[in-house]
Chain A
Amino acid sequence: MAKPRDAVSGSTKGIGVNGHPPTPALSVEGLTKDYPGVRAVDNVSFSIARNTVHCLVGENGAGKSTLVKMLTGALRPTSGTMTVRGAAYAPGSPHDARQGGIATLFQELHVVDQLTVQENLTLGMERSRFGFLVKSDLDRRAVQTLAAIEPSIDPTMRVSALSVAQKQIVEIARAASSGASVIIMDEPTAALSEREVERLFAVIRRLRETDVTVIYISHKLDEIFALGDAVTVLRDGRHIATKSLSDVAGQPELIEMMIGRSVFQTYVPRPSVTDEAVLTAQGLTNHRLKSVSFHINRGEIVGFYGLVGSGKTEIARALFGADTVSGSIRFKGKPVERSPKAAIRSGIALVPEERRTQGLFTSLTLRPNISVMNTRRLSTHGMLRSADERAVAAEYVHKLRIATNSIEKYAEKLSGGNQQKVVIAKCLFADADLLLLDEPTRGVDVGAKTEIYDIIRELADKGRSVAVFSSELEEVLGLCDRIFLLFAGTLEAEIVNGPDVDVSHILHVVTGSGRSVAP
């Protein structure tokens, strides 16, 4: 993949703005967003030149998504101002943002499958007389815009017949023809094949010629070098740099700006790790996974680290029997029957990614939430022994230091960290020998995070095995004995954790650039 170099040299023309008055397409000044106890975006100021592709990078939690939400009107800033082409801009809703000239291409596509391409292009902007649709300039302009950026899409086709990539292009054409001067694209290549990514890039480049500025958010650094004119780096909510990409020496420099000197929780090797494989997976393959093989030892904490869409969740769900997968999984020497029920019986428990929708019964109290996976143990002839259930719930509330005044408190009333502890308690009570934790500390405050890490270590010390699926590097580096690096459904590398782990090597691998870089 030799393209990054060319693109960088070509990108200077975008920055230079030949002769035009230098009104930026978009600028933000002192933008800050506070959440209770957290400052997600901290006094960020930068501006974006017109008709460029401006990349926004940063690790998870750097503040990218909060910034984008403020730009698209989904969140109001605590303080600070935004300007679009010199005019003040303070959107109160996504619709306001569109009126203000900023359109967003979300990861979740907002096209109507049941309508034709043409109908989608003008949706919500039709001209009408007495309620009857009237053909207008807009129809012609929208179709022309689409033809200009992707001539292969027939405007009379139904959108349901298009691929994801083509639907994206329809959304882009709609944004461009509706007069958007800035289009924000949030991880647009997450669901695309390589061939489709190239098409999308061609579309974005043509877009730049038509007086549209693109804000491009991606974890994949090679994409940024292939496409971008300039880049803004965020870290811990703060603005680190805004640079022309031709002034960035390469991916190592970018990675350094992204991770900075942030202090990683130091990993302490744990003596409980054994060589006795408790789970062996061979050639796991499904729609997302490509022949993934690994083993997990008794008493070990392993980490699966990768970006969004790298296949972490899919591996967790496959091991738990929640998704179909081909390949073999052996647990304690026996093949595993593929269903969540069988997995729980044989001693595998999953703490799912979305705690509120997949892990908790938010409308129930703590007591039934904790006992739900193993009520069999608490019942006689199908009748629940409620005294025993209460005792178990109280025991786990105490053990995991769940902050609550009663086991009859509704789960939805707890803080994120305590909710997560309840989900973990549920899995512990299921007597799991292998605990699968998908993003165990997402949306959890720092204090609770440390406590959850302690719980995990304690479990492993007692001879249980734990697999942590995480997109937070710090978490995996601080916690795991071995780390599997994932990229696009492939297990790219296995790393034994220790003091001399090469962080930039890990980032290279999981951003996909490690594939082509010779070791």
Chain B
Amino acid sequence: MSESSPAIPNRPACGPRIAQFLRTYYIYFVLLLVVAVLSMANLDRFDLFERGNFLNPNNIINILRVSAPLLTLAGAFTLLMVSGYIDLSVGSAMGLSAVVYALLAINGVPFLPAFAMTIMVGAMLGAINALLVVRLRITPVIATLITLSLFKGLALLLVEDGVSAIKSGGGRSMPAWFNDYGREGVLLGLPMAFWVAVLVTIALIVAQSRTLLGKYAAATGGNPTAAKLSGINTGGIVALLYVIVGITAALAGIARSSFMSLGDPLSGDGMELTAILVVLLGGTAFSGGEGKVLRSFVGALIIMALTVGMLTLVPAYYQTLVLGTALLAAAASNHLVSRKETAS
């Protein structure tokens, strides 16, 4: 029965503010750190692209070119995870899109129609995921594991027997324009695929901060009951996000296929793990509600820089193990951060 106890403090004190600052901007420091370390490392054995310093412009351009698929995917994947859902089928959707795109090109369909049709295929794949998760209420992990298998099976089916991918040969050849999208520099030496990734990311940053979609995704992931009681169509939001992820997976497939000059059904294998890693690295809560598109984009840059760096420093067959370890570290730090949030 105390008559006067101190008023409830409203603003976080100075210490938490610094913590908040670090939590918001740490990803940029990590990027700087990775770049700094790699630019000091000896890259003499680096013969995949060009010998020399990491910060060599040609080298940077090369890294950004191979990064295009992941950069395209990261933003949409973030929004989906903010809403509390996940899509493990992105790699298969990417491989299937790559095959479809290459098939269309090799059969004489011009660039723009082939591009548009492949994106439509991606949207459909996303809609199938939405159907399983939202309408049939299958747990997202299970539903997208099912489609991971289905999409990959379909992609393998589209490739002729005895061939591993859609490519030139046997009397057919890829049209001359096929490589341009993923390789030919159009601005600052960077190809279309990279600039599309940038445009998609900007569009999603705007969507996240300025539209109903961004706010409702956060509400759906943060407190589904509250969102429903507020009259938000959470199912519709989630379905839309799956379709957007499907479209970016198709864009990623096109970028990869154009870069490699072939339609490889397995070209997206493991992409779901990389995407999760990137999103967690960007500070998105695995439990939903929290996360920023831009930070995942930066996270993707970090992962790609590291991957390329790793090629020079460690043998290739260590990479999956390193990826797994990085994922563990990201998940653990994510867990610690979210625990602190709830404790305060």
**A123-B10 contact given A94-B229, A128-B211, CB 8 Å threshold:** no
* Structural contact, B222 and A110, CB atoms closer than 8 A: no
Q: Which A residues lie within 8 Å of B8 (CB)?
A: 163, 165-166, 195-196
* Structural contact, A115 and B10, CB atoms closer than 8 A: no
* Structural contact, B212 and A112, CB atoms closer than 8 A: no
**A110-B226 contact given A123-B219, A124-B232, A163-B8, CB 8 Å threshold:** yes
Interface pick from A150-158, A202-210, A227-235, A342-350: A150-158
Q: Which A residues lie within 8 Å of B320 (CB)?
A: none
* Structural contact, A128 and B212, CB atoms closer than 8 A: yes
* Structural contact, A133 and B225, CB atoms closer than 8 A: no
Contact with A along B249-272 (1 / 0, CB 8 A): 000000000000000000000000
In the complex, what residue of chain A is closest to B12 when comparing beta carbons?
A161
Contact surface of B with A, Cβ cutoff 8 Å: 1-2, 4-5, 7-8, 10-12, 210-213, 215, 218-219, 221-223, 225-232, 285, 289-290, 341, 344
* Structural contact, A126 and B221, CB atoms closer than 8 A: no
Q: With A and B bound together, what is the CA distance between A160 and B222 in angstroms? A: 11
Beyond contacts A123-B230, A516-B1: 13 other A-B pairs, Cβ-Cβ < 8 A, are A110-B225, A112-B218, A112-B222, A112-B223, A112-B226, A114-B218, A114-B221, A124-B230, A128-B212, A160-B341, A194-B5, A195-B7, A196-B8
Q: Which B residues lie within 8 Å of A153 (CB)?
A: 10
Q: With A and B bound together, what is the CA distance between A489 and B228 in angstroms? A: 34
Determine whether A35 belongs to the interface, using a CB cutoff of 8 Å to chain B: no
In the complex, what residue of chain B is closest to A159 when comparing beta carbons?
B222
Determine whether A113 belongs to the interface, using a CB cutoff of 8 Å to chain B: yes
Q: Which A residues lie within 8 Å of B341 (CB)?
A: 113, 160
* Structural contact, B211 and A125, CB atoms closer than 8 A: no
Most A Cβ at <10 Å: residue of B4, B210, B219, B226: B226
User: Shortest Cβ distance from A401 into chain B, in angstroms?
Assistant: 39
Q: List 20 A-B contacts (CB under 8 A).
A: A95-B228, A98-B229, A98-B231, A110-B230, A112-B218, A114-B285, A115-B218, A123-B226, A123-B230, A123-B232, A124-B232, A128-B211, A131-B211, A131-B212, A132-B211, A133-B215, A152-B10, A160-B341, A161-B12, A515-B1
Q: With A and B bound together, what is the CA distance between A153 and B9 in angstroms? A: 10
Contact with B along A332-357 (1 / 0, CB 8 A): 00000000000000000000000000
**Which listed residue (A114, A128, A166) contacts B289, Cβ 8 A?**
A114
Q: Which B residues lie within 8 Å of A108 (CB)?
A: 225
**A195-B289 contact given A95-B231, A153-B10, CB 8 Å threshold:** no
* Structural contact, A110 and B229, CB atoms closer than 8 A: yes
Q: Which A residues lie within 8 Å of B225 (CB)?
A: 108, 110
Contact surface of A with B, Cβ cutoff 8 Å: 1, 94-95, 98, 108-115, 119, 123-126, 128, 131-133, 152-154, 157, 160-161, 163, 165-166, 193-196, 515-516
Q: Which B residues lie within 8 Å of A165 (CB)?
A: 8
* Structural contact, A1 and B230, CB atoms closer than 8 A: no
Q: Which A residues lie within 8 Å of B290 (CB)?
A: 114
* Structural contact, B226 and A111, CB atoms closer than 8 A: yes
Q: Which B residues lie within 8 Å of A124 (CB)?
A: 227, 230-232
User: Shortest Cβ distance from A321 into chain B, in angstroms?
Assistant: 23
User: Shortest Cβ distance from B221 into chain A, in angstroms?
Assistant: 7
Q: With A and B bound together, what is the CA distance between A123 and B223 in angstroms? A: 12
User: Shortest Cβ distance from B24 into chain A, in angstroms?
Assistant: 12
* Structural contact, A113 and B1, CB atoms closer than 8 A: no
**A112-B344 contact given A1-B1, A119-B215, A193-B5, CB 8 Å threshold:** no
User: Shortest Cβ distance from B42 into chain A, in angstroms?
Assistant: 44
User: Shortest Cβ distance from A210 into chain B, in angstroms?
Assistant: 21
* Structural contact, B229 and A133, CB atoms closer than 8 A: no
Q: With A and B bound together, what is the CA distance between A128 and B1 in angstroms? A: 49
* Structural contact, B11 and A154, CB atoms closer than 8 A: yes
In the complex, what residue of chain B is closest to A166 when comparing beta carbons?
B8
* Structural contact, B212 and A126, CB atoms closer than 8 A: yes
Q: Which B residues lie within 8 Å of A98 (CB)?
A: 229, 231
Q: With A and B bound together, what is the CA distance between A1 and B2 in angstroms? A: 11
User: Shortest Cβ distance from A442 into chain B, in angstroms?
Assistant: 23
Q: Which B residues lie within 8 Å of A131 (CB)?
A: 211-213
Q: With A and B bound together, what is the CA distance between A108 and B223 in angstroms? A: 11
- In the A-B complex, the 5 residue pairs with the smallest Cβ-Cβ separation, listed nearest first, are A124-B230, A110-B226, A114-B289, A112-B222, A114-B222
Q: With A and B bound together, what is the CA distance between A442 and B343 in angstroms? A: 32
In the complex, what residue of chain A is closest to B207 when comparing beta carbons?
A131
Q: Which A residues lie within 8 Å of B228 (CB)?
A: 95
Q: Which B residues lie within 8 Å of A152 (CB)?
A: 7, 10
Q: With A and B bound together, what is the CA distance between A133 and B206 in angstroms? A: 11
Q: Which A residues lie within 8 Å of B1 (CB)?
A: 1, 194, 515-516
Q: Which B residues lie within 8 Å of A113 (CB)?
A: 222-223, 289, 341
* Structural contact, A112 and B227, CB atoms closer than 8 A: yes
User: Shortest Cβ distance from A429 into chain B, in angstroms?
Assistant: 35
* Structural contact, B12 and A112, CB atoms closer than 8 A: no
User: Shortest Cβ distance from B212 into chain A, in angstroms?
Assistant: 5
**A161-B229 contact given A1-B1, A115-B215, A128-B211, CB 8 Å threshold:** no
User: Shortest Cβ distance from B9 into chain A, in angstroms?
Assistant: 9
* Structural contact, B219 and A161, CB atoms closer than 8 A: no
* Structural contact, A123 and B211, CB atoms closer than 8 A: no
In the complex, what residue of chain A is closest to B233 when comparing beta carbons?
A124
Q: With A and B bound together, what is the CA distance between A152 and B4 in angstroms? A: 17
Q: With A and B bound together, what is the CA distance between A124 and B213 in angstroms? A: 11
Q: With A and B bound together, what is the CA distance between A196 and B341 in angstroms? A: 22
* Structural contact, B222 and A123, CB atoms closer than 8 A: no
Q: Which B residues lie within 8 Å of A133 (CB)?
A: 210-212, 215
Q: With A and B bound together, what is the CA distance between A163 and B8 in angstroms? A: 8
Most B Cβ at <10 Å: residue of A95, A114, A119, A126: A114
Q: With A and B bound together, what is the CA distance between A124 and B230 in angstroms? A: 5
Q: With A and B bound together, what is the CA distance between A119 and B219 in angstroms? A: 10
User: Shortest Cβ distance from A229 into chain B, in angstroms?
Assistant: 25
Q: With A and B bound together, what is the CA distance between A152 and B290 in angstroms? A: 26
Q: With A and B bound together, what is the CA distance between A515 and B1 in angstroms? A: 10
Q: With A and B bound together, what is the CA distance between A201 and B229 in angstroms? A: 25
* Structural contact, B211 and A95, CB atoms closer than 8 A: no
